[in-house]
A and B are shown apart, each in its own frame.
Chain A
Amino acid sequence: MTPIALIAIMIGVPAVLLLAYVFIRGSAGLRHYILTRIALTLPMVFILATLVFFVMRILPGDPVRSALGPKGSPELIQQIREQLGLNDPMIVQYARFLGDMVTLDFGNSLIGGHRPIVDEMSERFPATLELVIPASILALLLGIWGGTFAASRRKRTADYLWRIYSVVIYSLPIFWLGLIMQLVFGIQFGWLPISGRIDPIIGTTIEHITNLYAVDALITGNWAALGSVLQHLILPTVTLGLILSGVFVRMTRINVIETLQADYIAAARARGIRERVLVYGHALKNAMIPVITLIGLQVAILLAGAVLTETVFSWPGMGRYLVERISSRDYTAVQSVITVFALLVALISLAVDVIYSLVDPRVRY
């Protein structure tokens, strides 16, 4: 089984289970809502992919010229364009592209060895996941805990410190924070590696099963590789996670403050419920409802942040791949990456909406 298939199963199975659970447990309204959302996702992805298809072709430059450079004679360029099908009428190319998308084939790259895009993604997509998942966990834990803590210490020192933190971190450019991290922890102190996913020598020992290196190292018991992977993960993950945490601190804080003023908190306090339970149990659970919505909205920002983080840390993931292939005008690669990103955003925001309905019993779609 190819790594990309494994990954698809790893994401798909829990997602399908969650949907199935909610589908069975939920009301008829919720079932209808989920079906509508899924039905709406397909035209959305189609429109986006179409847009990318045409925008790429409007852009000046073309893949063959950029691959051959100035030494390519016009005859050679024409010959290769003919081979790659780039001289076919636009409508034919578009039909071919749509056909590829429907079969989830994605076609072949237009540059280099013309490898299948699926193979290229099966190396890079797991790298992005390995970066994005711990970064989101860090952002959520830090943001939700920090916001709640700040709210419970409202107008005291801890609150002001968290508020300063959230504004500063929210307004920092991600690549700048990445560079500073590299300078301080990578170069000044020399504690952590500043680029790549794994030490190149240890990297030769890793077995490529899922291409999530941490998982592969773990299941094959390759502890040296695992250590190296984790070391390489720290800086990019922390950079991305910190940047994303700012907005969660702010959202959580303001919502916990608001719910702490609700009547039911006063009523619970009058029943002798302890302050800690009021804040972290009652208030936080209610405050999470709008925060969960925010999580759905942040997925797109997370992926955009991954593009920058991967570029700064030479992380061989989808983001860096996208940047490379945009500059070499590799149409098929760019179209495929954008389509995968769009599917991912749609899937996660649907999952978030479904989770929302589980947390808030009042939601009826």
Chain B
Amino acid sequence: MPADILYSVRNLTVEYKTRAGVVRAVDNVSLDIRRGEILGLVGESGCGKSTLGKALMRLHTGPASIAGGELWFDGRDLMKLSEREMPDVRGAEIGMVFQDPMTSLNPVQRILDHLTETIQTHEPEISDAAARARSEELVERLGIRRERLNEYPHQMSGGMRQRVMISLALALRAKLVIADEPTTSLDVIVEAKFLDLLKELQKEFGLTILLITHNIGVVAEVADRVAVMYAAKMAEVGDVNEVFADPKHPYTQGLLKSVPNIRLEEAELYKMEGAPPNLLHPPAGCRFNPRCPFVMEVCRTQEPAFAPVVGDHYASCLLYQEAGMKQERLHG
């Protein structure tokens, strides 16, 4: 594994067992997260992006389970750790910020206790006073007055709680922070402030952040690279400027076209045809073929490889692969 890669996901498959059958919410996905970057992971609801985020910490319980793949984090495969060893990684090396700050803090626990408990779980030798001092320092860095540590979650606003969540993820200087839709429940002003904070923290602590969102604007604003998921598969990965300027995968192209732009004259917003497939019975060949404007015969039978198109810009689309080059387009 190259040294500049912090987390390398190889051929990860996550399955949910449902009454109707097994659903692969993440299907043979590979992804590299580089040290010090903000990687934006975008996709529609139900495309598997949150499932992927949780799988990076092996957080699945109940009907979900990791069916295969490797999770190389900082030089070791987390899949090889036992269930008893995983909690040492969680929180200490990988932190997570959840979608809803209103429900992600324990309502009967003071903010301070959230922090000290986290610190002392991983570093039991630290005294209460030292843990408290560290917590105070940390939250003040995030713009929360230290007196507020004595409050309960319900006494804080949404934006402040989300900063508390960040402080919890940073309490042990985690190398990687997975932020799962961290701004979805915040209003736009608080959202903008929060994203600025994320960028500052990235620079200050050399933090690596995986930012999971359905909001492509958020990705454009803060991410260095972007990964696009569609129907449990990775569609496209690349530098954020490159992907936004020249999207390769037809799904990404559609996604970018559907973002409203007040500077454009067109009154009608572009709307992608169709809906994502039911993952119980995904279509054969390319997952996107029923909705793709450039669909070819081969797309209905052959699954595209996830391969580089130019340089580090990857896409899983037959348009750029040998099997597709030979084919005539059916439409367009």
Contact = CB atoms under 8 A, between A and B. Distances in A.
Interface of A: 262-264, 266-274, 277, 282, 285-286, 289, 359-362
Contacts of A268: 106
A264 B109 CA distance: 11
B118 A362 contact: no
B104 interface: yes
Given A267-B96, A285-B108, A272 B103 contact: no
Contact of B107 (A266, A269, A277, A361): A361
Given A271-B171, A289-B108, A362-B107, 16 more contacts: A262-B103, A263-B98, A263-B103, A264-B105, A267-B165, A269-B59, A270-B96, A272-B88, A272-B89, A273-B87, A277-B121, A285-B109, A286-B108, A360-B108, A361-B107, A362-B154
Contact of B91 (A263, A271, A362): A271
23 contacts: A263-B98, A264-B106, A267-B96, A270-B57, A270-B90, A270-B96, A271-B90, A271-B91, A271-B96, A271-B118, A271-B121, A271-B168, A272-B91, A272-B122, A273-B117, A273-B118, A274-B87, A285-B108, A285-B109, A286-B108, A359-B108, A360-B108, A361-B107
B95 interface: yes
Contacts of A286: 106-108
B108 A361 contact: yes
A270 B91 contact: yes
Nearest to A263: B103
Contacts of A267: 96, 98, 104-105, 165, 168
Contacts of B122: 272
B26 interface: no
Contacts of B90: 269-272
Nearest to A288: B108
Contacts, number: 73
A309 to B, nearest CB: 35
B103 to A, nearest CB: 4
A285 B90 CA distance: 23
Interface in B116-157: 117-118, 121-122, 152, 154
Given A264-B105, A267-B105, A271-B168, A361 B154 contact: yes
B198 interface: no
Nearest to A275: B87
B15 interface: no
A22 to B, nearest CB: 17
B47 interface: no
A272 B92 contact: yes
Contacts of B121: 271-274, 277
Contacts of A359: 108
Nearest to B171: A271
Interface string B9-26: 000000000000000000
10 shortest interchain CB distances as A-B pairs? A272-B91, A271-B91, A272-B90, A263-B103, A270-B96, A361-B152, A272-B87, A267-B104, A264-B106, A271-B118
Interface residues of B, number: 28
Nearest to A285: B108
A26 B57 CA distance: 41
Contact of A266 (B91, B98, B165): B98
Contacts of B87: 269, 272-274
B74 interface: no
Contacts of B89: 272
Contacts of A269: 59, 87, 90
Contacts of B224: none
A270 B103 CA distance: 14
A289 B106 CA distance: 13
A272 B105 contact: no
Nearest to A154: B62
A365 to B, nearest CB: 15
A161 B100 CA distance: 36
Nearest to B62: A261
Nearest to B165: A267
A269 B87 CA distance: 8
Contacts of B105: 264, 267
Nearest to A273: B121
Contacts of A361: 107-108, 152, 154
Contacts of B103: 262-264
A263 B154 contact: no
B246 to A, nearest CB: 36
Given A262-B103, A361-B152, A270 B108 contact: no
Nearest to B110: A361
A204 B100 CA distance: 67
B242 to A, nearest CB: 32
A289 B107 CA distance: 11
A86 B87 CA distance: 76
A362 B152 contact: yes
Given A263-B98, A360-B108, A361-B108, A270 B152 contact: no
A267 B122 CA distance: 15
Contacts of A273: 87, 91, 117-118, 121
Nearest to B117: A273
A274 to B, nearest CB: 6
Contacts of B118: 271-273
Given A272-B90, A359-B108, A263 B152 contact: no
Nearest to B168: A271
Nearest to B154: A362
Nearest to A283: B106
Contacts of B88: 272
A286 B154 CA distance: 14
